[in-house]
Structure 1
Amino acid sequence: MKDTVTPTGHLAEQIERQDWKALADELDELGNALTGLLLTPGECREIADLYDREEYFRTTVDMARHRFGSGQYRYFTHDLPEVIAQLRAAFYPKLLPVARDWAGKLGRPAPWPDDLATWVEMCHEAGQARSAQILLRYGPGDWNALHRDVFGEMLFPLQVVIGLDAPGTDFTGGEFIMTEQRPRAQSRGSSTTVPQGHGLIFTTRDRPVALKRGWSNGPMRHGVSMVRTGRRRTLGLVFHDAA
């Protein structure tokens, strides 16, 4: 298992140099936030090319078969490639303050320890022992239905998707979409084009929404609009394991 990895090298530096105050403010306001550049095109291709290497994955999901949309994705085993293990380990401590702040505002427990390895061990002790790191592949006409990636009672409220192909060059369409159910109001939607090598941080389930007399939870779902042309591949980093 690579969850004990210590983030080092240029990937950790790329994540460290992001404007985390601005990202946290945007997460508070919208429930999602786009990072700056994290990966080079070569690193993106290296990750995307893993898709055809069976030894890295525990299962493959055909979305149309399960009525999740159209397209395909694969769950990694716990023996993650180093680049993915490094990204996950470097993101966790940066997202942790937001997770704890949101839990406090919503009056919920904040069970997340300072290190990812301990949190993953807690997930396993609770019966959530399957890796949830994911590589997704969409072609023309493919899309992903609105959903939430909960996977069990042990939940980390934020996750990250990283674009591995270049919008407008490698594919068209395929925007990342989110909807938010607002208190006593119509739902609000947003769409984001995720550039190659950039990450989109977004809420797993909901986010705190300020009301006149405190805080309410704003349930959110995410998905992908229809890919019109080309091939769209993304890496999903999830910070809790699956039951």
Structure 2
Amino acid sequence: MSGKDYIPKPSAVTSARNRLDKYDWETLAGEMNGYGCAVLPGILTQKECADLAALYPREEHFRSHIHMARHGFGKGEYRYYKYPLPDLIGGLRTALYPHLADIANGWNERLGGDQLYPKEHADFLRQCHEAGQVRPTPLLLQYVPGDFNCLHQDLYGDLAFPIQVAFLLSEPGRDFTGGEFVLTEQRPRMQSRAEVVPMRQGDAVAFAVHNRPVRGTKGDYRVTLRHGVSRVRSGMRHTVGIIFHDAR
């Protein structure tokens, strides 16, 4: 796969960077460090949400179609985008990465790891592709009444970026009910902690994929995280997930 297949248009990246400039990244980093997740409110417009959701039946944009029940993932379905990604998704994936890489590198340092994530997403993707992880991982999910997503981790190979971002494309209470985003932490020798993240249409949540450090009385220790979606009770729920590593 050549670079032109996964590097988005410069104009899309510039637009995404301008959009992200309005957020207080120091505060968001504090929330990530404290709770393992942080909400970016209103990152997408209502029209952008509708346009992205409308892509779901258009197979030309996707490389595969997954029915969760067939694999024991829950109930519902999703499609993985293929390269080149839609401009909005590709631009946000590239522009979000440097902000999140700073947090990820801080986590690795606190946990004594030797992984250093490069400053630019294209450089990290190059590492993925050299390791044989060449399939794009951003995805579009669709839930109808009774659907849910089991607690899981999105790990697709030896290289895995520790943070991902989910964008809610539907409006709770209007387009669907139920379907809350849930994050759990398994702490050593302690019971699990659950975090239910309230979101509106156009909001995004950045969250830990696998592990994160937590400060204890004797220094930092590692907690394991999983995320999922509770049962949708009515309507239809669409979400875009941006995962920063590619898959084997």
TM-score normalised per structure 2? 0.95
- Secondary structure of 1:51 counterpart: coil
- Secondary structure of 1:50 counterpart: coil
Matched, 1:160 2:165: yes
Which residue in 2 is equivalent to 1:47? 52
Which residue in 2 is equivalent to 1:95? 100
Which residue in 2 is equivalent to 1:169? 174
C-alpha deviation, 1:111, in angstroms? 3.1
Deviations 1:37-77 (A, max 9, x none): 11110011111111111111000000011110000000011
Deviations 1:55-100 (A, max 9, x none): 1100000001111000000001121011111111110111111010
Which residue in 2 is equivalent to 1:126? 131
Q: Which runs of 4+ in 1 moved over 6 A?
A: none
Which residue in 1 is equivalent to 2:27? 22
Matched, 1:74 2:75: no
Which of 218, 223, 229 does residue 224 from structure 1 map onto? 229
Is 1:167–1:193's contact at 8 Å kept on the other side of the alignment? no
Deviations 1:22-50 (A, max 9, x none): 11111101101111211110011111111
Hey, what's the Cα distance between the residues in 2 that align with 1:164 and 1:174?
12
- Secondary structure of 2:80 counterpart: strand
C-alpha deviation, 1:14, in angstroms? 1.9
Q: Report the count of equivalent residues.
A: 242
- Secondary structure of 1:95 counterpart: helix
Is 1:39–1:197's contact at 8 Å kept on the other side of the alignment? yes
Which of 214, 223, 227 does residue 219 from structure 2 map onto? 214
Which of 4, 7, 20 does residue 3 from structure 1 map onto? 7
Is 2:140–2:240's contact at 8 Å kept on the other side of the alignment? yes
Is 1:36–1:198's contact at 8 Å kept on the other side of the alignment? yes
Hey, what's the Cα distance between the residues in 2 that align with 1:190 and 1:205?
15
Deviations 1:142-180 (A, max 9, x none): 000000001111111100000000011100000000110
Is 2:8–2:85's contact at 8 Å kept on the other side of the alignment? no
C-alpha deviation, 1:4, in angstroms? 4.9
Hey, what's the Cα distance between the residues in 2 that align with 1:2 and 1:45?
24
Ranges in structure 2 where 5+ consecutive residues have no aligned partner: none
C-alpha deviation, 1:193, in angstroms? 2.5
Is 2:183–2:196's contact at 8 Å kept on the other side of the alignment? yes
Hey, what's the Cα distance between the residues in 2 that align with 1:31 and 1:140?
28
Q: CA RMSD in A?
A: 1.1
Which residue in 1 is equivalent to 2:119? 114
Is 2:8–2:84's contact at 8 Å kept on the other side of the alignment? no
Deviates more, 1:222-231 or 1:184-193: 184-193
Q: What amino acid is aligned across from residue 41 of structure 2 in structure 1?
A: G
TM-score normalised per structure 1? 0.97
Q: What amino acid is aligned across from residue 197 of structure 1 in structure 2?
A: G
- Secondary structure of 1:172 counterpart: strand
Which residue in 1 is equivalent to 2:64? 59
C-alpha deviation, 1:183, in angstroms? 2.2
Matched, 1:233 2:238: yes
